[in-house]
Amino acid sequence: MSSPGKPSLPAALVREFEELVRHYPERRAALIPALHRCQEELGGWLSPETLEACAAFFGLAPVEVFGVASFYPMFHLHPAGKHVVGVCHNIACALRGAEEILGAVCRATGAQPGKVSPDGRYTVERVECQGACTAAPMLVLDGVFHENLRPADVERVLAAVPRSPGRLLESLR
């Protein structure tokens, strides 16, 4: 699996994924959950090296893994900020001030939608319906929902960052 010069996954993730693949009749089924874990543990995004290492683990061509990763909006294929802020702009949130929330997030972070803030701290994204329609408008900060927001709440929400994602468990070998 680990030929010289080729990226491979950290041993802890390999152990975890070997357990995961046992839930399915075919190994590949664990690919998307595994990509989630890679993104969480390996710097907050899926680098070409990470995708290649996943491909080696699952016995797939790197292009297959890239094809899957690029289909799903939750995967970042470019370096993301230390914290990811998603603002839902879909109908239920739009009717209750989503654009104002997005504006407040952009002002507070200095980032434009779809971009990383100049200090590298935040990625700000427009996201589609998150299933919080009866508590609109909302934002997602590092995977945690913050609901029933007013623009004035945004600073407080951003200040209370739960934990840093993208912490390096182990770097790629």
Partner 1 sequence: MSTAAPSKREVYLLARVGLSDSHTLAVYRAHGGYAALEKVLTGGYTPAQVIQLVKDSGLRGRGGAGFSTGLKWSFMPDPAKDPRPRYLAVNADESEPGTCKDRVLMEKDPHGLVEGILLACFAMRVRTAYVYVRGEYRRSYERMAAAIDEARAAGLVGQKILGADFACDIWMHKGAGAYICGEETGLMESLEGKRGHPRPKPPFPAGSGLWGKPTTVNNVETLSNVPFIVMRGAEWFKSLGTPKSPGNVLVGISGHVERPGVYELPLGIRARTVLEECAGGVWKGRKLKAWIPGGSSTGFLPAAKIDLALDHDSLREAGSMLGTAAMIVLDDTACTVRAMQVIARFYDHESCGQCSQCREGTQWLHQIFARLERGEGRMADIELLSSLANGMAPAKTICALSDAAAIPTHAIVKHFRHELEEHVKLGRCPLAAPHEVRDWVHSEETAEEAHA
Q: Which residues bind partner 1 (CB under 8 A)?
A: 23-26, 28-33, 35-36, 58, 67-68, 71-75, 89-92, 94-96, 99, 102, 112-115, 125-136, 140, 143-145, 147
Q: C-beta of 61: minimal distance to partner 1 in Å?
A: 13
Q: C-beta of 52: minimal distance to partner 1 in Å?
A: 16
The single-letter code of the amino acid at 67 is G
Question: What H or E segment, with its residue span, contains residue 88?
Answer: strand 83-88
Q: What secondary structure letter does DSSP report for 149?
A: -
Q: Report phi then psi at 123, rounded to 5.
A: -105, 130
Which two three-digit tokens encode residue 83? 């914290």
Nearer to partner 1, 2 or 148 (CB): 148
Nearer to partner 1, 73 or 118 (CB): 73
Nearer to partner 1, 3 or 23 (CB): 23
Which two three-digit tokens encode residue 112? 């434009």
Q: C-beta of 5: minimal distance to partner 1 in Å?
A: 26
3-state helix, strand, coil in the chain (%, to 5): 40, 10, 45
Q: C-beta of 108: minimal distance to partner 1 in Å?
A: 16
Give the residue from 94, 87, 137, 131 showing the smallest Cα distance to 113.
Answer: 87
Nearer to partner 1, 3 or 71 (CB): 71
